[in-house]
Amino acid sequence: MKTPRFETRKKRKRLKMRYLVILFVFLFATGFFVGKTHSTSELPSTPKPTEKGDVLIPKFEAPITIESVEKDPVVEEPITEEPIVEEKSEGKVVYLTFDDGPSELTGQFLDVLSELDVLATFFMQGSNLKKEHLQENVRRAVKEGHYVGGHSMTHNFKTLYSDRQFVPEMKETLALIHEITGTIPRLVRPPYGSTPGLKNEKIRHQLAEAGIKVWDWTIDSNDWKLRGNPSQIIENIKRGTTTDREIVLMHEKPQTLAALPEIIQFYREQGFEFAVYNDAHHFVLNFQNDVDL
């Protein structure tokens, strides 16, 4: 028979075991909760899905890193010259041009042009440009608004075309004009015209590479062979005027000087405006129909 003391001891033992079990369960639950919380904090947060129709699509935004950003390639734009834009005129326009200067008559031509308020284009020859006593009127021409272009150094057909010295001579002539006037002209007139002179494509290619432009004419006054006959020069020009834009070929000759006032009067009566060449508004005018010139 069990004694009361034995029963009491047994109850205490059971109660102690029960406490141990409760403590174990509590400690286990606490450790599990803390461990799960710690583990979850180390994981990236899962973004909430966005709804698109009936389908839930997770929307992830990848972090931007320096490596993931591509730089736009640097594109170097080619350096080009400013484009030449032809200046359009609504009315009639005439360009008076004079070859073979400077001469002893250059000052007198400038006097007539100044008195009648007309600008002109001069194509001057290197062998004359070298004469110091003629250079003051070259400077005067530029100061008064006229254009001075090149007309070769020698004016010799064989040297220029057969021996292919056209481009070197024109470069030398334009350099002389720059030295005298400070301008940088790039227009030249071929002695005897680009036909037959500039039939050679190689010479024309050299001109284009050098940025040199070429002008011929629409009206040949034939003044050079009409000594003492200014009236025929005037008649030739009147008969040759057939379009609304004319470029008149003349030379610094006494007969041309005598005819000049009446030539200007004729064009004014016909409603023409007088224009002077401008590098920025070049238009193609060569017998070779070469658009690069």
The catalytic residue positions are: 99, 251
Rounded Cα gap, residues 158 and 100, in angstroms: 18
**H or E segment and range at residue 274:** strand 272-274
- What one-character-per-residue DSSP string does 200-223 give? -HHHHHHHHHHT-EEB--SEE--G
| Cβ count within 10 A of residue 282 | 18
- Measured between alpha carbons, how far is 16 from 37 in angstroms, rounded to an integer? 32
Rounded CA separation 249/38 (Å): 100
Using alpha carbons, select from 285, 254, 250, 277 the residue that is nearest to residue 264: 250
Among 122, 184, 185, 188, residue whose Cα is nearest residue 151: 188
222 — phi, psi (to 5°)? 55, 25
